Amino acid sequence: MTDLTTTYLGLTLRTPIVASAGPLTRDVDMIRRLVDSGTSAIVLPSLFEEEILLEERLLVEQVEVGTNQFAEALDYFPGSLFAEYEHPVDRYLGHLAAVRDAVDVPVIASINATSTGAWTRYARLLADAGADAIELNLYHVAANPTRSGRDVEDGDTALVLQITSSVGIPVAVKISPHYSSLAHTALSFADAGAAGLVCFNRFYQPDLDVDTREVIPCIDLSSPWELRLPLRWIAILRPLLPEISLAATTGISTGRDVAKALLVGADVAMMTSALLRHGPEHVALVERELRTWAAEHEYDSVDQLRGSVSHATTEDPAAFERANYMHILQSYETPRMERP
């Protein structure tokens, strides 16, 4: 039987199959089902700074209701309101503690903040609460015309350095594929202390209702074809970052998808959409498919197959990409069209 043991962020995992941040990892019972089905690590949903600020602002508004109209309200202290209120950070820390008590696999906390101080403060709280690692979710759209690409990349690198130097647990950075020089930025994150990179953050595109002229939030589950982008870049990054953990996410649905990720150099493959479609028990099927594929191709371990198909086998990755680009274009066959 193929040994599927792998190492991610210095953590030893039974298999490379990881449940990424999503609705299922928000629920302790679902997490138990995921682990019972073979999930080797859990990434909790992100703790968003905006969510914290919003709840704090709403609380202040409730406390100050009537203070500008009734003098008596100045002496009113809504004790029942405070008794029932739970701060978002406390709620997140409580969930982290409950998950750690419920399962015996590594639990990775996730944060998504916008201000420098918030990143550090939240990361320390999560580390102190027992998270095995932290995933930094760098989700922002570079729409400020006064900031250059270098400004954006330097700012993100500074954030990574600040977090990695303030906590004593491994830190992975969930990155976007849209940096102007992705390979250079990835190397910068590694130099700043990142123990791993998650490829890639998936940007959700809102829609527009032309009748009401309202922006409509849209969440489309990922499709298998979306795995191509992470595969391409992990193949490029693996030889450049031999000591860094790499995680493939987006489009992972089957055991063969996991095999693809490992072949190009990933240490783990993360799933959310497939689990939402098929349920937590889908993990067991993915593992069986991976084992079957590995046995058929005579791989004895993950270490043996990891990175066996990557840019480490070519002296000029840029030339390889150029040749592949031309090959793809030339492979298209124009369909025959009948004359009307």
> Which residues share a beta bridge with 334?
none
Q: Is residue 323 part of a domain?
A: no
CA–CA separation, 160 and 193 (whole Å): 7
Q: What's the pLDDT tens digit per position in 227-269?
A: 999 999 999 999 999 999 999 999 999 999 999 999 999 999 9
The one-character DSSP state at 51 is: H
Q: Is residue 79 part of a domain?
A: yes
Residue keyed to tokens 């704090």: 56
Q: Which residues lie closer than 8 Å to 316 by C-beta, 6 or more apart?
A: none
* pTM for this prediction: 0.85
User: So what's the pLDDT on residue 181?
Assistant: 92
Domain of residue 172, residue span: 6-312
Q: Is residue 328 part of a domain?
A: no
Q: Is residue 322 part of a domain?
A: no
Q: Is residue 99 part of a domain?
A: yes
Q: Is residue 289 part of a domain?
A: yes
Consecutive H or E run containing 244: none
Q: Choose among 225, 243, 196, 239: nearest CA to 18.
A: 196
Query: Residues 149, 180: contact at Cβ < 8 Å?
Result: yes
Count structural domains, the chain: 1
User: So what's the pLDDT on residue 268?
Assistant: 98
Q: Choose among 137, 119, 116, 256: nearest CA to 202.
A: 137
Dmax over CA atoms of the chain, in Å, equals: 85
Q: What's the pLDDT tens digit per position in 68-90?
A: 555 555 555 555 544 555 678 88
Q: Is residue 112 part of a domain?
A: yes
Q: Is residue 339 part of a domain?
A: no
Q: Give pLDDT < 50 ranges for the chain.
A: 53, 55-67, 81-82
Residue 243, domain CATH: 3.20.20.70
